[in-house]
Amino acid sequence: MSKKLLYISLLAAAIVALLLPSCTPGSCFEETNAYVKATFYLESSGKADAPDSLTLLGIGRDTGAIYIKSRNLRQALIPLDASTEGCGFVMKINGVYDTVSFTYTTYLQMLSKDCGYTFYHTIDIPVYTTNIIDTITIVKSSITTFSEENIRIYY
Amino acid sequence: MRRTSVYIISLFAAQISIPAISQNSEIPVDTVEVPLKIRTALEISGPVLYFTDKNILNLEAFVTVDLDEKKSLYLGGGYSDYSYSQYNYSFLAKGSFYKAGVDFNLLRPEMTEGKYWAGGGLHYGLSRFTSETPYLKHDNYWGSVSSSLTEQKNWCHFLEISGGFKAEVLRNLSIGWLISIRKLIYTGAAKELRPIYYPGYGDGGKTLTYGLNYYISYNIPFKKIKVYIMPEPVEESEEDEENQDNTNNTQIGRQGISR
């Protein structure tokens, strides 16, 4: 009886050990960049409306634009520079140029074991020119990896 | 995991219900002598796994003191040294942890003879550790930013439910295994910089962790107690009931015939 109990236990331990998942490193499937999520609104109607064309590039970044003549873009994802407390962008909406500057505080955020760390920000009211942009309002000043609207650009 | 939890909870429920049934039973018919023991156990899988994976060292031990033939007091502790590294960061955590609680043996005393234990335990865990991120890197449109986090001391509190089996294979020497489920209760670490690993608890990204541990223990008998064995409740089988019914029917029939 006792030995039978022991054998059953050892068998159970072996089965449980086999069922446990192995400790292999996983992969990161999360968003790891905290963008300013900017939604475009028509100033005249007050309704969300994607511009016919949007070009966006960071001031001081000669290489590459974030968007080039992008069409039907309802929400632009604007990356902030984590190494400084502010950065600026040239925004060309429907062929008209404006500049938008952000100032912010930055803090580290652990995402997960697989993805590691990212930088989150808290933005102040942006400074901008008003050639085609009418106003920019802040909806949520915390810039995270979550899918939530941060600013509204009325044009 | 949900099945395991249900199983363990069922075992506890069974443990609670046994004395209640016994109290209602008949007078004890026999006694069995059960040795109460102090068990000092060492976890053996941690050091063994360290030889295959140098990134994690887990040293763990516990002492249980039998309170009676069913319950024992559990005191455990250990040390953990963890390191992890991937393309964009590296992480280190090390520290000690302590656990206290009660274990329940669900086997009947006449079956165990003080040599076998199968049951579960409920433990409260406390971990005191340091963690640091010597290197981290983040890339985006603006380029690459490197940083680090200096060493920080933190606490972590958790609850542990365990279940398993121990058997005395040599005189006063037992081996056994325990499967544990842990629930994180509180951590002193900042929410945004939560460590990815807590010594004694495991993966910091999960509110529930589990583990399988193998133990070898030395047992010191310190007292013998007499445990009354309650008689098994005699259940009437359906066959008996049917036979009895048939007998009654026959009697009625006979009575009928005699009239």
Q: Residue B219's domain is classified under what CATH number?
A: 2.40.160.20
CA distance B160 to B125: 7
* SS3 state of residue A23: coil
Which residue of chain A comes nearest to B210, CA vs CA? A20
CA distance B208 to B157: 12
> What is the CB neighbour count within 10 angstroms for residue B27?
7
Query: Does the distance separating the beta carbons of A79 and B140 come in below 8 Å?
Result: yes
| Strand spans (E) along chain B | 30-43, 56-66, 71-86, 89-105, 116-140, 143-170, 173-187, 197-198, 202-203, 208-229
- Has this prediction a pTM greater than 0.80? no
Give the total number of structural domains in chain B. Answer: 1
Domain that holds residue B28: 2-258
* SS3 state of residue B208: strand
| Binding-site residues on chain B for chain A (CB distance < 8 A) | 53, 84, 86, 88-89, 111, 113, 115-116, 118, 133, 136, 138, 140-143, 145, 147, 149, 164-165, 167, 169, 176-177, 179, 192-194, 196, 203-205, 210, 212, 214
Q: Which pLDDT score, from 0 to 100, does residue A58 have?
A: 94
Which residue of chain A comes nearest to B148, CA vs CA? A108
Per-residue confidence at A38, pLDDT binned at 50, 70, 90?
A: very high
pLDDT digits (tens, 9 = 90+) for B119-152: 999 999 999 999 999 999 999 899 999 999 999 9
Nearest to B49 by CA among A8, A17, A114: A17
pLDDT digits (tens, 9 = 90+) for B32-90: 888 888 999 999 999 999 998 889 999 999 999 999 888 999 999 999 999 999 999 99
Q: Which pLDDT score, from 0 to 100, does residue B192 have?
A: 86
CA distance A76 to A91: 11
Query: Does the distance separating the beta carbons of A109 and B193 come in below 8 Å?
Result: yes
| Binding-site residues on chain A for chain B (CB distance < 8 A) | 1-2, 5-6, 9, 12-13, 16-17, 20, 23, 25, 32-33, 58, 61, 64, 66, 79-83, 87, 107-110, 112-114, 116-120
Q: Which pLDDT score, from 0 to 100, does residue B196 have?
A: 93
Q: Which of A9, A116, A119 sits opposite B167 (nearest CB)?
A: A9
CA distance B20 to B18: 5
Q: B141 forms bridges with which residues in the sheet?
A: none
Give the DSSP letter string of B81-99: EEEEEETTEEEEEEEEEEE
Residue B243 burial class via C-beta count within 10 angstroms: exposed 0-12, middle 13-18, buried 19 and up: exposed
Q: Which residues of A touch B132 (CB under 8 A)?
A: none
Q: Which of B116, B141, B179 sits opposite A66 (nearest CB)?
A: B141
What is the residue whose two structure tokens read 């309704």?
A47
Q: Which pLDDT score, from 0 to 100, does residue B228 have?
A: 80
Per-residue confidence at B188, pLDDT binned at 50, 70, 90?
A: confident
Arithmetic mean of pLDDT, A135-142: 96
Complex prediction ipTM: 0.81
Length of chain B: 259
Query: Does the distance separating the beta carbons of B116 and A83 come in below 8 Å?
Result: no
Arithmetic mean of pLDDT, A14-22: 55
Query: Does the distance separating the beta carbons of A113 and B205 come in below 8 Å?
Result: yes
Q: Which pLDDT score, from 0 to 100, does residue A26 have?
A: 60
Q: Which pLDDT score, from 0 to 100, does residue B116 have?
A: 86
Q: Which of B145, B177, B205 sits opposite A13 (nearest CB)?
A: B177
Give the DSSP letter string of B149-183: EEEEEEEEEEEEEEEEEEEEEETTEEEEEEEEEEE
Mutate one of B48, B116, B138, B196 to test the A interface: name it (highest A CB count within 10 A).
Answer: B138
Which of the residue ranges B27-31, B171-175, B189-193, B234-238 would you say has the lowest mean pLDDT? B234-238
Residue B106 burial class via C-beta count within 10 angstroms: exposed 0-12, middle 13-18, buried 19 and up: middle
Q: Which of A12, A83, A117 sits opposite B89 (nearest CB)?
A: A117
Nearest to A67 by CA among A42, A93, A106: A93
Nearest to A112 by CA among B139, B195, B85: B195
Arithmetic mean of pLDDT, B13-29: 48
Would you kindly state where each structural domain of chain A is located, as residue ranges?
31-154
CA distance B7 to A29: 34
Q: Which pLDDT score, from 0 to 100, does residue A122 have?
A: 96
What is the residue whose two structure tokens read 């085609």?
A132
Which of the residue ranges A25-34, B98-107, B162-171 would you say has the lowest mean pLDDT? A25-34
CA distance B95 to B200: 9
Q: Which of B86, B176, B210 sits opposite A25 (nearest CB)?
A: B86
Q: How far is A87 from chain B (nearest CA, A)?
A: 10
Q: Taking the mean position of all CA atoms in its chain, how far away is CA B22?
A: 25
Q: Which amino acid is at B154?
A: N
DSSP A139: S
CA distance A56 to B190: 35
Chain A and chain B share a number of CB contacts under 8 A equal to: 88
Q: How far is A40 from chain B (nearest CA, A)?
A: 21
Percentage of chain B lying above the pLDDT 90 cut: 51
Percentage of chain B lying above the pLDDT 70 cut: 78
Query: Does the distance separating the beta carbons of A16 and B141 come in below 8 Å?
Result: no
Nearest to B97 by CA among B60, B138, B68: B60
